[in-house]
A and B are shown apart, each in its own frame.
Chain A
């Protein structure tokens, strides 16, 4: 774990503390399609309810222990700076750990994305392995379409403006999105949405 990494505490009340204000708005962005306003009350909710309370209701009251906080148990790691990013020029980062499978791409898409940070909400990061069968996607960023893929193994593609949702896929999970925060010019990775290929737990070995 690098120096500018600190473990976040698995304490829901932390979510609303002034120190974590940046974090809260990140989560609101993730669940609210980029709009910060209008869901102030939501920031008071527990992490398990934050991601999409409405979707849960629609799913017949799906409640799962696995829908835990997406960020509270992850390290806070500096992964880059805003000014150093060039549009459509992905930068390889490591998150949450240093293992090969935890390689990710930090990308300035040039168009707003769900979970995007920066003034244009266009800076995102995704794990670099296909969630179908682990195909390497590091060189598969399609700058024109803002998708990752097609994976050279079985042609899966993922929409980087939509939390890594499949566009066309054999994969049965979104491409894991690295949750980012901006502090001044510094970009921090603070969590992962979705399970990284090959891992039973993203934090294994971290």
Chain B
């Protein structure tokens, strides 16, 4: 597996010492950042090359005098906020700068990711010049340009053939969940409404399941809190994320402003941890994979001390009877139903359980989590106020370090802790995700769970594990849209092996451009049980470059009008401000062209706004209900995009309600004080607005059975005698997703020229590793589950039994990276960037055995034996920094 296009690109930034100012008549459009969940508001400013504004307020589009050296005033474009793009075919200067907004990124604040987003834009004169510009067909093993007519005909005809002959279970779609409402709606319309395939999964997981599954089971909408809630908290328990690193403006603009005490649970030190410790907070340096044990022990200790928020519990924790609401005598086969039936408990029962549970004992927790007893107790005191008269307002935030190591158990045990500490419904006392990417997903149909063979026990349905289904040989046509399918999934190399064998390794290959020939060859491929692979992308990445039969160029952020919501549900328009590269088209358009040729109705959209108007009703009753906006526009003879443009950076906080011809926003979900005027007209009276999401509206405490995870955990732990270390992974501040943009930003690449591994000085010394050395990471125990979708009894899903019954394959994984020798990681633990393409993929080193309760991945649980195999060139070493960030 090598990287497509670029691999290790070392570049020194060329710092510029001037930046062109936009003239007064430059065009300004509102947009928001394309990157992290926070979704800061931005302005894109364009004007023809050859013109420049002046430094006086009446001479430039910012309408301010320069130099503008007061701090925090915004409107100073840094040179990395400038690029040159094509607009209407002509070169234009382009500045993308933070908006001055009352929300989210106040005072023009920005992160290092969004701050340099201008460098994302396609520019024929810059490093983005390798954007895909026309469809490419693999002919005799080489990707070569063809036209849209042929590309969409091939995709439609071959797809239709597979669908008709082998059914929807042979037609798979793997797509981003977030890259704008218009696109995700179109994709799900094809996959889930027209084809109705359950072989559908998002970019970041093998199954279409909730991320923080346990919290969802408990009735908590994980994007319920507003950013003001985090500011208003006295204490925030933060599990598995450093928001400074990865949702920077949430941290620097909202958390730092409120200055709560932070209780941070992370295996590794990062700048947010330093800030927490310097501001009366505490860092619980947890051993990878043991969060559930920590939560259990904290719950037990708090209950033993009587420090729980009993009023809150009495009011909001569901009774045994309430737990059964809405399930009646039904089959209880949806995931939350069968899980809550088995592990849900009233407070009384739950308390009894936690007080006698072995894996909630303090001594067990100290041993397994590696956190000293006094620190655990100190954390309990901070969270609860230790029985003092005034209980602190405590909120609970979690992210992937928590739910992608031990999904179900970590999230329900986290929820238990949050509930007994009084969080859930009130200002500054909230429970939620910090978030990763923005929320741009809307589904045109329900996921057809009833079609999957996945069963937990006799009735418990789960979303299909697409990777497992592919590896099991059931998929003959796969459409991958905007995701690096291989590196993004666990057991990456085994997945790549399968894909290779059944695509470019198939004996049925295209040898001519003639469309009939192409279709015939690809049909023969499908008939042979191999796989036809289609890829929509903006760059050639591993999946397209190495394996796809057809790659279609997508137009993305800034190149088409789109909409999306961010981490506190604020909806904004992301306006088009320049030309997409070449013939690239938005994914909704590509889907529509193919769907029509497949014979499906309802894909006659002319513009993004047509799609937006159609998708609005599919958001009803959800946290992102925007249907009232479309209705409001229609009533008042306006266009919804125009309304959004006028709202610009402010946007609308969803869900919306329409009352007396006014749009009303929702600041926080689960707010019992919210007055929902009526369920009339377009406005829905959503349960989640005023209470929790489950039928009784209450919070569901759950028992936590460590044995569901324990045997797997024991098997995949690093083996000391083999010199193995944990290899965990995650985001870092300067990089976004699979670094597809970052590797084209010289400013970022000078800092992070290649994937890295943080290794402790002790582990490094034992292996003779120094800063800048290139190391190999080898794991000869990468387990991959193949088959085993249906199992009769719960215990059959335990790793030990899956293996005994022949559903576990033992494979090997390798990666390489450059060493940072640093004390931010403890001995025994290393950390890599999470989705570096090509040979640095951390997911090669962890087992593709999903959490059997939720089918969630366990990306954070990699391990490897690590060895020095080289060193980076002197040229690089002298120019990059090895200073610690903390």
B885 x A157 contact (CB < 8 A)? yes
A51 x B14 contact (CB < 8 A)? yes
In the complex the two chains form, what is the Cα distance from A171 to B79 in whole Å? 11
Q: Interface size bucket, A side?
A: 35 or more
A171 x B115 contact (CB < 8 A)? yes
In the complex the two chains form, what is the Cα distance from A150 to B130 in whole Å? 36
Interface string of B451-487 (1 = CB under 8 A from A): 0000000000000000000000000000000000000
A26 CB to closest chain B CB (Å) equals 16
Q: Is the CB of B9 closer than 8 A to any CB of chain A?
A: yes
Would A62 and B69 be within 8 Å (CB), given that A163-B15, A195-B15 are in contact?
no
Q: Is the CB of B17 closer than 8 A to any CB of chain A?
A: yes
**Nearest residue in B to A177 (C-beta to C-beta)?**
B15
Interface string of A60-91 (1 = CB under 8 A from B): 11111011101000000000000000000000
B18 x A155 contact (CB < 8 A)? no
In the complex the two chains form, what is the Cα distance from A43 to B439 in whole Å? 52
Most interface-central of A146, A161, A162, A163 (chain B CB within 10 A): A162
In the complex the two chains form, what is the Cα distance from A163 to B746 in whole Å? 14
Q: Is the CB of B373 closer than 8 A to any CB of chain A?
A: no
B126 x A59 contact (CB < 8 A)? yes
Residues from chain B with a CB closer than 8 A to the CB of A165 are 13, 750-751, 880-881
Q: Is the CB of B811 closer than 8 A to any CB of chain A?
A: no
Q: Is the CB of B145 closer than 8 A to any CB of chain A?
A: no
Residues from chain B with a CB closer than 8 A to the CB of A193 are 15, 17
Partner of A169, one of B16, B108, B112: B112
Interface string of B532-545 (1 = CB under 8 A from A): 00000000000000
Among B70-78, B150-158, B501-509, B564-572, the one that faces the other chain is B70-78
Residues from chain A with a CB closer than 8 A to the CB of B66 are 198-200, 204
Residues from chain B with a CB closer than 8 A to the CB of A41 are none
A31 CB to closest chain B CB (Å) equals 8
Within 8 A of B (CB), among A135-168: 135-136, 145-147, 150, 153-155, 157, 159, 161-163, 165-168
Residues from chain B with a CB closer than 8 A to the CB of A195 are 15-19, 78-79
B880 x A55 contact (CB < 8 A)? no
Interface string of A187-206 (1 = CB under 8 A from B): 00000111111111110110
**Nearest residue in B to A130 (C-beta to C-beta)?**
B71
Residues from chain A with a CB closer than 8 A to the CB of B110 are 132, 170, 172
Residues from chain A with a CB closer than 8 A to the CB of B879 are 33, 114, 162
B16 x A67 contact (CB < 8 A)? yes
Within 8 A of A (CB), among B864-886: 874-875, 878-881, 883-885
Partner of A134, one of B10, B21, B72, B127: B72
**Nearest residue in A to B248 (C-beta to C-beta)?**
A170
B775 CB to closest chain A CB (Å) equals 22
Would A59 and B883 be within 8 Å (CB), given that A165-B751, A204-B55 are in contact?
no
Q: Is the CB of A4 closer than 8 A to any CB of chain B?
A: no
Partner of B16, one of A34, A66, A146, A168: A66
Would A172 and B747 be within 8 Å (CB), given that A101-B67, A167-B881, A195-B18 are in contact?
yes
A114 x B17 contact (CB < 8 A)? no
Interface string of B108-126 (1 = CB under 8 A from A): 1111100110000000011
A145 x B883 contact (CB < 8 A)? yes
A173 x B69 contact (CB < 8 A)? no
In the complex the two chains form, what is the Cα distance from A34 to B879 in whole Å? 10
B271 x A168 contact (CB < 8 A)? yes
A192 x B271 contact (CB < 8 A)? no
Main DSSP-derived SS at the A contact region: loop
A192 x B17 contact (CB < 8 A)? yes
Would A60 and B69 be within 8 Å (CB), given that A167-B883, A198-B76 are in contact?
no
Residues from chain A with a CB closer than 8 A to the CB of B639 are none
**Nearest residue in B to A167 (C-beta to C-beta)?**
B883
Residues from chain B with a CB closer than 8 A to the CB of A200 are 18-21, 55, 66-67, 77
Q: Is the CB of B68 closer than 8 A to any CB of chain A?
A: yes
In the complex the two chains form, what is the Cα distance from A163 to B81 in whole Å? 20
Within 8 A of A (CB), among B5-56: 9-21, 55
Most interface-central of B66, B271, B883, B884 (chain A CB within 10 A): B883
B111 x A114 contact (CB < 8 A)? no
Would A194 and B15 be within 8 Å (CB), given that A154-B252, A168-B733, A168-B885 are in contact?
yes
Q: Is the CB of A116 closer than 8 A to any CB of chain B?
A: no
Residues from chain B with a CB closer than 8 A to the CB of A59 are 9, 11, 126-127, 744, 746
Q: Is the CB of A9 closer than 8 A to any CB of chain B?
A: no
A55 x B16 contact (CB < 8 A)? no
A55 x B79 contact (CB < 8 A)? no
Would A70 and B17 be within 8 Å (CB), given that A155-B275, A170-B252 are in contact?
yes
Residues from chain B with a CB closer than 8 A to the CB of A157 are 883, 885
Most interface-central of B14, B127, B746, B874 (chain A CB within 10 A): B14
**Nearest residue in B to A131 (C-beta to C-beta)?**
B78
A173 CB to closest chain B CB (Å) equals 5
B69 x A101 contact (CB < 8 A)? yes
Residues from chain B with a CB closer than 8 A to the CB of A13 are none
Residues from chain A with a CB closer than 8 A to the CB of B80 are 172-173
Q: Is the CB of B193 closer than 8 A to any CB of chain A?
A: no
B78 x A99 contact (CB < 8 A)? no
Q: Is the CB of B139 closer than 8 A to any CB of chain A?
A: no
In the complex the two chains form, what is the Cα distance from A193 to B15 in whole Å? 6
Main DSSP-derived SS at the B contact region: loop
Q: Is the CB of A3 closer than 8 A to any CB of chain B?
A: no
In the complex the two chains form, what is the Cα distance from A129 to B612 in whole Å? 44
**Nearest residue in B to A33 (C-beta to C-beta)?**
B878
A58 x B11 contact (CB < 8 A)? yes
Residues from chain B with a CB closer than 8 A to the CB of A25 are none
Q: Is the CB of B129 closer than 8 A to any CB of chain A?
A: yes
Residues from chain B with a CB closer than 8 A to the CB of A114 are 878-879
A197 x B733 contact (CB < 8 A)? no
Most interface-central of A60, A135, A153, A177 (chain B CB within 10 A): A60
Q: Is the CB of B734 closer than 8 A to any CB of chain A?
A: yes
Residues from chain B with a CB closer than 8 A to the CB of A205 are 67
In the complex the two chains form, what is the Cα distance from A51 to B746 in whole Å? 13
In the complex the two chains form, what is the Cα distance from A67 to B72 in whole Å? 27
**Nearest residue in A to B49 (C-beta to C-beta)?**
A65
A181 CB to closest chain B CB (Å) equals 17
Interface string of B352-382 (1 = CB under 8 A from A): 0000000000000000000000000000000
A67 x B67 contact (CB < 8 A)? no
Q: Is the CB of B244 closer than 8 A to any CB of chain A?
A: yes
Residues from chain A with a CB closer than 8 A to the CB of B130 are 60
B16 x A134 contact (CB < 8 A)? no
B275 x A58 contact (CB < 8 A)? no
**Nearest residue in B to A163 (C-beta to C-beta)?**
B15
In the complex the two chains form, what is the Cα distance from A159 to B129 in whole Å? 30
B18 x A202 contact (CB < 8 A)? yes
B372 CB to closest chain A CB (Å) equals 27
In the complex the two chains form, what is the Cα distance from A201 to B744 in whole Å? 25
**Nearest residue in B to A71 (C-beta to C-beta)?**
B17
Residues from chain B with a CB closer than 8 A to the CB of A185 are none
Residues from chain A with a CB closer than 8 A to the CB of B751 are 165-166
Most interface-central of B733, B744, B875, B878 (chain A CB within 10 A): B878
In the complex the two chains form, what is the Cα distance from A92 to B434 in whole Å? 41
27 interchain pairs (CB within 8 A)? Answer: A59-B746, A61-B129, A62-B127, A62-B746, A99-B67, A134-B72, A134-B76, A145-B884, A146-B883, A153-B252, A154-B252, A155-B275, A159-B881, A165-B750, A172-B110, A172-B115, A173-B80, A174-B747, A176-B15, A197-B69, A199-B18, A199-B67, A199-B76, A200-B19, A200-B21, A201-B19, A204-B66
- Known A-B contacts: A52-B11, A55-B14, A101-B69. Give 15 more (CB < 8 A): A55-B13, A59-B11, A99-B67, A129-B69, A129-B71, A133-B107, A165-B750, A168-B885, A170-B248, A171-B78, A171-B112, A171-B115, A194-B16, A200-B18, A202-B17
Task: List the interface of chain A (C-beta within 8 A of B).
Answer: 31, 33-34, 51-52, 55-56, 58-64, 66-68, 70, 99-101, 114, 129, 131-136, 145-147, 150, 153-155, 157, 159, 161-163, 165-174, 176-177, 192-202, 204-205
Closest 5 CB pairs of A and B: A101-B69, A194-B15, A198-B69, A33-B878, A134-B71
